[in-house]
């Protein structure tokens, strides 16, 4: 039980990273690859937030008087992840617009049939 | 063949990650800089939400870079999709009266909620990025429910530019008169946990909220087919 | 508490695997949206309400909308 208590968030984050990398490496469809990038990003964010957690802590907001600053979780990973999520949506939209252009030019999204993208 | 190769590669990568990271303990404080922000942040910035004070005050320059990345991505998306625009108006099927009226009723309420989220960013969870996303989702509702209505491109670009300009100008004023770093706080801090507190942080978050909202709405407007 | 978190993480990993194996791209996108939604609940359990709000409003809502618009302009089924 203590193993589960210590490592359950890490297991979830590593599972998401593993599945995201697997989708990126194996799938041929371009939009599927972009879905994999999105899942990978969620896993990395979950890992960063889990690193900053403190047992029996509170959120880093002084909402009531008398909250102890020593019991708050680490605010630095939260600020980092907040910016990472917003950059992630911009990069995803950019990638999808490139996918739309490729589909209009080649008529397919299959990476095996697009000559310049084949691997 | 390729699948087997990929799985072997993945197992090697994940083995390396797990070997190097499994000793990170869960649930105990780790960084000194986070402790500093928690202990001193309340007096130094006047914001009740420490994440907001880290994003906008201690690491404000970082946020400027992030807003720039968002801006460049939106510009690039517009440039990539610009040649695909169809000339002339396409005929769109009008939505039913109930859907149309419901969307028009909900649109200002969602805008109001987004504005609430980014105005209270220094007191409660939330802030400019989340409020901007909520405002953009209000525009998505209008695109889906009231077919044929578009946002005015000129006014959205103007709002976006004004938001970015306010951010940079306030940062430079802080650099000139407030202290020796970008975005230093030159307004009075006020009382903790009241709306008019924390100096420049609410002003910057309002500017970021307008900027992110109009930018994401512009991205969705560019991606829609009929234009 | 730990049991709830474990169940949520198992559900999240099942949704990610569903996003891997679905042939219909819109179903895959909805499964990825489910991953983001459960991740936002986990962020709330980890005492990060700011990040939970950002993930729920951006990661679960806007990303899904952008994906569905892009799929509408391209092809729906993966072959």
One-character DSSP codes across A48-109:
HHHHT-BTT-B-SB--STT--GGGBPPHHHHHHHHHHHHHHHHHHHHHHHHHHHHHHHHS--
Q: Which residues of C touch B129 (CB under 8 A)?
A: 54, 58
Flag if A39 and C32 touch (Cβ within 8 Å): yes
pLDDT at B15 over 70: yes
pLDDT digits (tens, 9 = 90+) for C15-34: 999 988 888 999 999 999 99
Q: Which residues of C touch A57 (CB under 8 A)?
A: 47
pLDDT at A57 over 70: yes
pLDDT at B145 over 90: no
Burial B127-149 (b: 16+ CB within 10 A, else e): bbbbbbbbbbbbbbebbebbeee
Q: How many folded domains does chain C comprise?
A: 1
What is the fold of A2-58+69-117? Helix Hairpins (1.10.287)
What mean pLDDT is predicted for residues B106-115?
Answer: 92
- Please state, in angstroms and rounded to a whole number, the distance separating the CA atoms of residues A74 and A48: 11
Listed by start position, the domains of chain B span: 2-223
Q: What is the ipTM of this complex?
A: 0.91
- Please state, in angstroms and rounded to a whole number, the distance separating the CA atoms of residues B181 and B176: 9
- Looking at the complex, does the CB of residue C71 fall below 8 Å from at least one CB of chain B? no
Tokens of A15: 């599972």
Flag if B129 and C54 touch (Cβ within 8 Å): yes
pLDDT at C79 over 80: no
Task: Give me the pLDDT at residue C30, please.
Answer: 92
Flag if A22 and B7 touch (Cβ within 8 Å): yes
Q: Is B163 left (phi over 0), alpha (psi -120 to 50) or beta?
A: alpha
Flag if B66 and A6 touch (Cβ within 8 Å): no
Task: Give me the pLDDT at residue B194, please.
Answer: 76
Show which of residues 90-119 on chain A sit within 8 Å of chain B, judged by CB atoms: 90-91, 93-94, 96-98, 100-101, 104
Q: Could you tell me which of B101, B106, B164 has the C-alpha nearest to residue B132?
A: B164
Task: Give me the pLDDT at residue B59, please.
Answer: 83
Residue C79 in any domain: the answer is no
Q: What is the share, in percent, of chain A residues with pLDDT greater than 90?
A: 11
Residue C61 in any domain: the answer is yes
Q: Could you tell me which of A19, B144, B127, B215 has the C-alpha nearest to residue C65?
A: B144
Backbone phi, psi, residue A54, to 5°: -125, 135
Listed by start position, the domains of chain A span: 2-58+69-117
Q: What is the DSSP letter of C54?
A: H
Locus of tokens 């951006």: C58
Q: Could you tell me which of B202, B210, B219 has the C-alpha nearest to residue B134?
A: B210
3-class DSSP state of B22: coil
The residue that leads in pLDDT, A117 or B116, is B116
Please state, rounded to an integer, the average pLDDT across all residues of chain C: 89
- CB contacts < 8 A, A to B, total 136
Give the list of residues 6+ apart from residue B222 with CB closer than 8 angstroms, or none.
A97, B77, B78, B81
Domain encompassing residue C45? 2-73
Task: Give me the pLDDT at residue A118, please.
Answer: 62
What mean pLDDT is predicted for residues B159-186?
Answer: 82
Locus of tokens 């992110």: B212
Q: Is the separation of the CB atoms in A29 and A111 below 8 Å?
A: yes
- Looking at the complex, does the CB of residue C7 fall below 8 Å from at least one CB of chain A? no
The residue that leads in pLDDT, B83 or B7, is B7
Task: Give me the pLDDT at residue A38, please.
Answer: 92
What mean pLDDT is predicted for residues A43-72?
Answer: 83
Task: Give me the pLDDT at residue B225, please.
Answer: 65
pLDDT at C11 over 90: yes
Tokens of B76: 């690039």
pLDDT digits (tens, 9 = 90+) for B174-212: 888 877 777 777 777 777 777 777 778 888 888 988 998
Q: Which residues of C touch B219 (CB under 8 A)?
A: 66
pLDDT at B82 over 70: yes
| Closest in B24, B54, B123 to A51, CB measured | B24
Please state, rounded to an integer, the average pLDDT across all residues of chain B: 83
What mean pLDDT is predicted for residues B123-139?
Answer: 88
Backbone phi, psi, residue A59, to 5°: -70, 150
CA-CA-CA-CA torsion for A37, A40, A42, A46, nearest 10 degrees? -160
- Looking at the complex, does the CB of residue C45 fall below 8 Å from at least one CB of chain B? no
- Looking at the complex, does the CB of residue B74 fall below 8 Å from at least one CB of chain A? yes
Tokens of A20: 């995201």
How many angstroms separate the Cα of C71 from the Cα of each of A89, B77, C58, C74?
16, 16, 18, 5
- Please state, in angstroms and rounded to a whole number, the distance separating the CA atoms of residues A62 and B193: 8
pLDDT at C4 over 80: yes
**What are C26-31's contacts with CB under 8 Å, separation 24+?**
C26/C68, C26/C71, C26/C76, C28/A32, C28/A35, C29/A35, C29/C64, C29/C67, C29/C68, C29/C71, C30/C64
What mean pLDDT is predicted for residues C37-48?
Answer: 90
The residue that leads in pLDDT, A41 or B196, is A41
- Looking at the complex, does the CB of residue B187 fall below 8 Å from at least one CB of chain A? no
| Closest in A75, A79, A96 to B38, CB measured | A75
Task: Give me the pLDDT at residue B227, please.
Answer: 45
Flag if B133 and C50 touch (Cβ within 8 Å): no
**Residue C13, min C-alpha distance to chain A (Å):** 7
Task: Give me the pLDDT at residue B89, please.
Answer: 60
Q: Which residues of B touch C66 (CB under 8 A)?
A: 219-220, 223
């Amino acid at each position: 039980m203590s193993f589960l208590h210590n490592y359950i968030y890490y297991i979830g984050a590593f599972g998401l990273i593993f599945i995201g990398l697997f989708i990126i490496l194996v799938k041929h469809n371009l939009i599927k690859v972009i879905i994999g990038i999105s899942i990978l990003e969620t896993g990395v964010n979950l890992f960063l937030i889990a690193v900053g957690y403190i047992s029996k802590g509170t959120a880093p907001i002084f909402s009531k008087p008398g909250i102890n600053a020593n019991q708050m979780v680490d605010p630095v990973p939260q600020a980092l992840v907040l910016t990472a999520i917003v950059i992630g949506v911009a990069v995803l939209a950019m990638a999808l617009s490139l996918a739309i252009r490729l589909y209009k030019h080649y008529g397919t999204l299959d990476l095996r049939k697009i000559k310049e993208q084949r691997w | 063949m390729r699948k087997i190769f990929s799985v072997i590669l993945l197992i090697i990568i994940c083995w390396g990650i797990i070997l190097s990271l499994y000793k990170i303990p869960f649930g105990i404080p780790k960084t000194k800089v986070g402790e500093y922000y928690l202990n001193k942040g309340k007096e130094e910035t006047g914001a009740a939400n420490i994440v907001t004070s880290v994003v906008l005050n201690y690491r404000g320059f970082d946020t400027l870079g992030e807003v720039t990345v968002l801006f460049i991505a939106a510009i690039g998306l517009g440039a990539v999709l610009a040649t695909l625009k169809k000339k002339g108006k396409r005929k769109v099927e009008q939505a039913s009266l109930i859907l149309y009226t419901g969307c028009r009723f909900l649109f200002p309420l969602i805008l109001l909620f987004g504005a609430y989220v980014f105005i209270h960013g220094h007191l409660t969870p939330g802030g400019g990025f989340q409020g901007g996303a909520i405002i953009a989702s209000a525009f998505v509702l209008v695109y889906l429910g009231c077919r044929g209505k578009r946002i005015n491109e000129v006014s959205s670009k103007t709002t976006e530019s004004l938001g970015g300009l306010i951010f940079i100008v306030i940062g430079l004023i802080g650099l000139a008169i407030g202290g020796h770093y970008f975005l230093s706080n030159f307004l009075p801090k006020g009382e903790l946990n009241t709306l008019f507190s924390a100096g420049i942080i609410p002003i910057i978050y309002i500017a970021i909220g307008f900027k992110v909202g109009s930018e994401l709405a512009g991205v969705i407007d560019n991606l829609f087919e009929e234009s | 508490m730990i049991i709830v978190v474990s169940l949520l993480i198992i559900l999240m990993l099942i949704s990610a695997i569903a996003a891997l194996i679905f042939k219909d791209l819109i179903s895959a996108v909805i499964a990825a949206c489910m991953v983001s939604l459960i991740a936002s609940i986990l962020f709330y359990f980890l005492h990060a309400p700011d990040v939970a709000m950002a993930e729920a409003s951006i990661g679960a809502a806007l990303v899904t909308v952008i994906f569905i618009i892009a799929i509408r302009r391209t092809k729906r089924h993966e072959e």
